[in-house]
Every structure is written in C-alpha cells, then in structure tokens.
Amino acid sequence: MISLCFFPLPPVNRREALRYAGAKAETPELSLLLDAVLADITPHLQGKVCWIDTPIRRQGDTLDLGFAKTNSAALARNLIGCDRAVVFAATLGLEFDRVLTRYGKVSPAKALLLQGLGAERIEGLCDVFCEKIRQEARKTGCFPAPRFSPGYGDLPLSLQRDIFRVLDCPRKIGLTLNESLLMSPSKSVTAIVGLGHPRESSCSGGCNQCSKTDCIYRSTP
C-alpha cells in the first residue's frame, strides 16, 4: 500500500542554502537577497512524500526490491543487514519551478540563490521524513541505513522508472519523469532506505555513499 503525507519543512539552514548556491560566505548583500527570495517562495512550498515498505532479497550484488530487480554493489553494501526497505519520493511542488522561471527572466542572482535554497529545502524535507522512519523503526528494534538514490554509485538511474511506477508518483504527489529520466518538479528526490537488525545508523547524509567526489553539492570530503 502506498502511503502519502504532507510534511512541514524544517527551519532553513542559510549556510547550506548559500553553499549549494556556490557562495563562500553570507555577505550583507547576499543576506538581503536571500531574505527576499525566502519571502517570495516560502508561502508556496509544500513538502509531499509518498512511500512503500517492501521486503528485499539479495544474491550477491543483485537485489530484489519486490517491485524491481537491480544490480548494484554500492546499494548492496548500503543494505547489509537489511531485510526490508522504505522506498520514497519527495517533492517541493511545481510552484518552485514557476518562481525559478520568473527569476530567470528578471534576476539571475535571485535564480541562483533559489536553486541553492531549493536544494537545501528538498534535503531538509528528506531529513524530516527519514527521521520519521527512524522513530517508527526503533519501535520494532530496527535501524535505518542511509538513504540511497538512483544515480548514487553504480545504482542505475533507470531504476527511477520502476520507483515511479510502484509509487504512482504522478497521481500521488504530482511528480513526473520524462524520457531523459529528469523529474518534474525539479526539486524532487527518490530514494531507498534499508531497515535492519541491529543497525545503528542514520538515514541522512547520502553524499558519503556517492562516488561522485567532484560534485559541487557534495557535503563530505
């Protein structure tokens, strides 16, 4: 069964938003510009998440997620000790893209800051959802693995198609996938969170699971 929930977004981490935007420090000018962007976009952001809980089986690096099979040494390592997983999709909604398009026409600086803010907001939404998973899992003695998304390491991006199908993303949260595997709204995430016994782990912090060390958004060395 597909679950659906609207989640309140956590307080904005201004430092992270600026880091995602490529800024090294919050200058007075950037601070005023970020305040203006926040005033514009915050009333329109709505965190939506849909998810399923599915059993997983593995044979070497081949993983059976119940709705799809995939081969990934990176995901297999991430799911060591896990016998089930939460597969989820999260989005900030279409209004973000509308404001971004408007900014792109009138203020490239605001557009850049909004891109950084959007990255921080969708990561914050995923963190809130993963904390919910952690709290629920601990009631049964389970612990979550770090969330892992298609495209991390050697996990094929094409797994997106199966995730969108099983979660019915267009109908549930208005999230679509084009032929190039790009999501719309743009500030959206799909991910797999393994659950196992016993596993003291955190559901957040996907950067240290990814081999793309030259990513400009990377938060760990």
Question: What's the whole-model pTM score?
Answer: 0.88
Query: Which residues, 6+ apart, have CB-to-CB distance to 68 below 8 Å?
Result: 159, 162, 163, 166
Task: Give the H/E segment covering residue 115.
Answer: helix 108-138
ω into residue 185 within 30 of 0, thus cis?
yes
CATH number at residue 69: 3.40.109.40
The number of distinct structural domains making up the chain is: 1
Specify the pLDDT at position 116: 97
Asked if residue 50 belongs to a domain, the reply is yes
Domain that residue 125 falls in? 3-209
Residue 217 in domain: no
Please indicate, yes or no, if residue 218 is contained in any of the structural domains: no
In angstroms, rounded to a whole number, what is the distance separating the alpha carbons of residues 203 and 201? Answer: 7
Q: Do 196 and 137 meet the contact criterion of CB atoms below 8 Å apart?
A: no
Model confidence band, residue 216 (pLDDT cutoffs 50, 70, 90)? very low
Residue whose C-alpha is closest to residue 61's, from 49, 71, 47: 71
36-84 tens-digit pLDDT: 999 999 999 989 999 999 999 999 999 999 999 999 999 999 999 999 9
- Is residue 219 assigned to a domain? no
Q: Is 71 inside a domain boundary?
A: yes
